[in-house]
Amino acid sequence: MTRREQHERITTEHYIVPRRSFNPVLILVVFLTIIAVLAVVIAAGAIDIARLIGIDQVVRVPRDYPTIQAAIDAVDPGEIIQVDAGVFAENLIINKPVTLIAQSFDEINPGNNTTIIDGGVGPATILIPAGLTQLPTIRGFVIRNGIDGIQASSPFIAEYNFLHSSANLISYQQGGGGFNRNNVYFRATNNAIRMDNIDRPLLVENNRILYSGETGIEINLQNITSPPAAIEVDIWNNMIIGNSEDGIQLVDHPGDPQNTNRRFVIAGNLIANNVRAGIGLMPNANTLEDYSGADMVEAVRVFNNTFYGNDFGISGGDNLVAFNNIIANSLNRGVSRVQGAPGSNSVVAYTLFHNNRVDGEESSLGAGVILGVDPLFEAAPNPGPDGTWSTLDDDFSGLVLQSASPAIDKGIAQFQANDGELIPPSPLSGFTGAAPDLGWREFGAPLFMTSTPTLPSTSTPLPTVTVVSPTPLATLTTVPGSPTPLPASPTPLTVTALPATTSAPVSPTATVLLPSPAVTSTSTSTAQVTIQNINPTSAQANTTVTMTITGSGFQTGAAVSFEGGQGLPQQVLGVQVVDLATIVVTLNAQNDGSAGPQVWDVRVTNLDNSSAVLMDTFTVVPAP
């Protein structure tokens, strides 16, 4: 062997690496670990990207978080928290605009809901603190216990819930307001709904308020916290039954009478079998009904209601205008002390009185009053299938008109008060005869009315939700889970705008005996959208304006926008599509004065993207 060959052999042998045997199991474990880490990173990135581009997340409890509060704390504003069936013993704080929704719930009978939030002995089962500028939503739960079921100091939406076993099932404090609809309230220790220092608009509609230990709806009119601008509380289309004090009680406070910038519209309600007054007005912060009839000067407008079987129908009011009502079977007085100083607005007109011990006492009766005539209801109330009164299945569905009722076509579409106020601001429409019927339901109309639409701030859809609805009653508006703007005081134009139907009545209680066939749902019109005019056509900056838009082809869920002006944009607070030809929009008029008066175009856009615009039609002048 040559010297070179020896050198190459030594060099090669020096760098030979011994062979090693590899463990295939170890390789597999390492590979799967890498995949798992990448999956977590990708998922986290996907969530961040989704949030970055504004896609609402659906967080599920207990799959994603073990408790509802943990989910609330973790999510961003506008996200959706869907909660499985079961009992969640928690005292929640909802401090951001999220949608809290039960995985399944019963639209028709929330008493069947299966997702329960139990507040135990805590101060509130659900607390909504002050300072929220967009509305959280609570939908489809059983809410029980706690001193208050829900205590709210910011506006929010509550719908399709069953609330029971709290002192106050919902307590609205200063800053509270929003939408309260399609809920069942049962056996509150004190009040089903209580309002204190309320300074935001509130709509209470399509609820069943049953057998509270004190009052169904108690409204305290503290004057120290009067809102700076007038607000309206609307109580529409509810069943307020069997409460141990009043159905609705408005409580003046010491130092009154004075106007606390609050207005109340009570329309389309069945107010029955309350132990004291159907509507009672009390002085000096006294919540124990004594029929003293407070001389409240706040505007109270009461039309198209049925009062049945209360001790007193209505008690008190220096500025209470009542018309198109039926007041029957009052154990003592139909109306008492509904009167003010000479020339005041207080009056009871276009009302049928029957079988009251005394129809009217110290009250101003106006035109259209019918005395001593049977309204011919379909049937008297009964205790329902269980045969026991004061339970959820008590049946008051028979308190609707027969075809031969003397109350049919005896109402008025618009009433003019002594001071010239038109009530409601636009005439009632949709009645089936020559004039509106008296009472809470037009002859042949469904017991449960379509809820007032809520204008969403985005078009984000709800997650998949199982809704237990064996037989639909009327069109129910679905509200997206994204934050919703603060509602404005809606104008009650549709309280008696009742579609013609031959549907049989259904039970008004939490256990609803549904008719067959179902009520025909309202279909969406495909008519061409047009705007003919608006009213008003001008406003001063920094004022809240309720505008009526008339035209054609307006669809439920339509949006209203203002275009073409300069400076601050107009702030739309709420939109109510009354019918195909009428929209009511509430807005804050804006103008910083930098460019003088500003003229705006008004546009209506339907959900199918059809739209119409009225050019140069709304002027906003700077504030002085």
The pLDDT of residue 52 is above 70: no
Asked, as a colleague might, if the bond just before 453 is cis with ω within 30 of 0, I would say: no
pLDDT attached to residue 119: 97
The pLDDT, as a whole number, for residue 523 is 30
Residue-level pLDDT at 624: 82
In the chain, % of residues over pLDDT 70? 78
Please check the confidence at residue 83 and state whether its pLDDT lies above 60.
yes
pLDDT band of residue 481 (cuts 50, 70, 90) is very low
Nearest to 173 by CA among 134, 225, 215, 214: 225
Tokens of 365: 């009766």
Comparing 335 with 285, the larger pLDDT belongs to 335
Cβ burial of 528 (10 Å; 0-12, 13-18, 19+) is exposed
Q: What is the pLDDT of residue 29?
A: 55
Split at pLDDT 50, 70, 90, the class of 595 is confident
Residue 13, pLDDT > 70, answer no
Angle at 405 between CA 379 and CA 450, to 5 degrees: 70
Strand partners, 347: 321
Q: Quote the pLDDT of residue 345.
A: 95
pLDDT exceeds 80 at position 241: yes
Lowest mean pLDDT among 47-56, 86-95, 518-527: 518-527
Mean pLDDT of 367-389: 96
Average pLDDT over residues 326-330: 98
**What proportion of the chain, given as a percentage, has pLDDT over 90?**
59
- Whole-number mean pLDDT of the chain? 82
- pLDDT value, residue 39: 53
| Residues 396 and 508: beta-carbon distance below 8 Å | yes
Residue 68: enclosing H or E segment and its boundaries?
A: helix 68-74
pTM value?
0.69
Average pLDDT for residues 132-147, to the nearest whole number? 97
566 vs 540, higher pLDDT: 540
Q: What is the pLDDT of residues 160-202, one digit of tens each?
A: 999 999 999 999 999 999 999 999 999 999 999 999 999 999 9
pLDDT of residue 417: 96
Residue 40 predicted with pLDDT over 80: no
Q: Which residues are CB-neighbours of 583 under 8 A, at least 6 positions away?
A: 548, 549, 551, 554, 558, 560, 575, 576, 577, 604
Reference 138, options 128, 124, 153; nearest CA is: 128
**Considering only CA atoms, which of 148, 162, 192 is closest in space to residue 392?**
162
Q: Is the pLDDT of residue 413 over 90?
A: yes
pLDDT computed for residue 30 by the predictor: 54
How much is the pLDDT for 564?
83
Residue 606's pLDDT band, with cuts at 50, 70 and 90, is: confident
pLDDT-based confidence at 609, cuts 50/70/90? confident
**SS3 of residue 7 by DSSP:** helix
Question: For residue 286, what are its two tokens?
Answer: 């006294």
pLDDT surpasses 90 at 85: yes
Q: Which residues of 344-370 are buried (b: 16+ CB within 10 A; e: fewer)?
A: bbbbbbbbbbbbbeebbbebbbbebbb
> What's the pLDDT score for residue 104?
95
> What domains lie within the chain, and their CATH numbers?
530-621 (2.60.40.10)
Q: Is the pLDDT of residue 528 over 90?
A: no
The yes-or-no verdict on residue 31 having pLDDT over 90 is no
pLDDT level of residue 44 (50, 70, 90 thresholds): very low
Give me Rg for the CA atoms of the chain: 30
Mean pLDDT of 287-316: 95
Q: In the prediction, which pLDDT does 450 show? A: 63
Which comes out higher in pLDDT, residue 406 or 616? 406
Band of pLDDT at residue 74, cut at 50, 70 and 90: very high
Place of tokens 């639409």: 453
Average pLDDT of the residues in 271-283: 97
Minimal CA–CA distance to 500: which of 520, 527, 524?
520
The bridge status of strand 415-416 relative to strand 422-423 is antiparallel
Q: Is a pLDDT exceeding 50 seen at residue 485?
A: no
With 70 as the cut, is the pLDDT of residue 591 above it?
yes
Whether residue 344 has pLDDT greater than 50: yes
Q: Does 421 have pLDDT greater than 70?
A: yes
- Helix H or strand E encompassing 124: strand 124-128
- Can you give the pLDDT at residue 110? 97
| For residue 51, pLDDT beyond 90 | no
pLDDT at 361 over 90: yes
